[in-house]
Structure 1
């Protein structure tokens, strides 16, 4: 079983997710905390350590879910973090991915789909919900000729996700394996992070810093 932890301030959602995931044969929910601070205070007493962390963004306390990402990764270097949030604006989506999240889901995602997304992460994938896919499409189009673009296959996959297709349906439609779909999504996330760093450096140079 995969050890999983949840960071969510709304008790009803936190308890519902914990109960659902703990009832699945693939998972064992070892910690459910209402804030990053509470999570960090309790994680040392948890055994086994979580391999997957599902975290909200808007949290009480001094740190948001995004601000907590580096701290979580520092304490749990082997764990993967997936964001689950009502916020699906491009700024927060990309900020979370650049801070180390391996996936980003809307809080309206059904529990069964959350489970599937976490299993994708455990298998080496990076789940992306349709709202995130829309931001990715807009981010890369149009781009300047000297910037890294999505490959034709990556564009096909992101647009299919935007249309609401599952990885399995995308694989069948394109005649490729689910593992190949996961790899392409990983590459898309990697390009987002590389581009952001290049743009940040260019902006600093423009400002003479």
Structure 2
């Protein structure tokens, strides 16, 4: 899809780091077949921008989405974008390569998964693949997924970064309200994270979680 006769792919870039957005913008400016239509600094801002673009029938073909952002993260934003605008593809881009994030992103409806150290050509390839409704996964992440299929993770290896943090806070004796305050999330979300963490670890209580965290060396015994 190169050359002057190729379709122009419209892209919205979502990242809370200005330097990342500027870098991607500078690269897209050099391409004939990819056009940056707007930028957003977090998930909520992305939804606002998409609503405005939709009003003028100018929705992008692809959203290039960071995962870790304030207010609304990339996974929640991806799910909402796919619900509201099913014709818009989402390619997730993050500095983390854990397969748990890949699963969450793909389950939310992303059609691509890039690491932030990907080269410009790889970013463009992922955007073009998403436009063709093809799944594009960073080779390093694909290898990790393959290894996981052979030897599925167990124990704390099954936790996302957020769930691991919640496990540590639980082990430190924090209540759901205190966890919510510490992570700047709602108490309901904190309760969900605790429940998911206990379910993944096949534990029945916060006390069991605290003992496991000590055993794994995540916290020091008090």
1:142 Cα deviation (Å)? 5.0
Distance 1:50 1:9 in 2: 19
Specify which of 78, 103, 106 is matched with residue 97 of structure 1: 106
1:56 alignment counterpart: 66
* Shift, 1:88, TM fit: 0.7
Quick one: distance in 2 between partners of 1:124 and 1:92? 20
- Give the alignment partner of residue 38 of structure 1, picking from 35, 38, 45: 45
> Which residue of 2 is the match for residue 117 of structure 1?
126
The separation in 2 between residues aligned to 1:124 and 1:66, in whole angstroms, is 19
State the shift of 1:26 in Å: 0.8
RMSD: 2.2
Shift of 1:15: 1.5
Q: Give the secondary-structure state (helix, strand or coil) at the position aligned to 1:28.
A: strand
- The structural deviation recorded for 1:135 is 2.2
SS in 1 for 2:70: coil
Following superposition, the deviation at residue 130 of structure 1 comes to 2.1
CA contact (8 A) 2:89 2:133 kept: no
Instruction: Using structure 2 for the length normalisation, give the TM-score.
Output: 0.61
Q: Calculate the TM-score normalised by the size of structure 1.
A: 0.64
Q: Which residue of 2 aligns with 1:134?
A: 143
Residue 21 of structure 2 corresponds to which residue in structure 1? Answer: 14
Residues 156-209 of structure 1 deviation map (CA, whole Å, 9 limit, x = unaligned): xxxxxxxxxxxxxxxxxxxxxxxxxxxxxxxxxxxxxxxxxxxxxxx89x99xx
Q: Following superposition, which runs of at least 4 residues in structure 1 exceed 6 angstroms of deviation? A: none
Distance of 1:64 and 1:99 partners within structure 2: 12
Counterpart in the other structure of 2:177: none
Query: May I ask how many residue pairs the two structures share in their alignment?
Result: 147
- Structure 1 residue aligned with 2:4: none
> What's the CA shift string for 1:130-156, capped at 9, x where partnerless?
22112221222158xxxxxxxxxxxxx
- Residue 82 of structure 1 aligns to a residue whose secondary structure is strand
* Secondary structure at the counterpart of residue 90 of structure 2: strand
Per the TM alignment, residue 105 of structure 1 is displaced from its structure 2 partner at its CA by 0.6
The Cα shift of 1:124 comes to 3.0
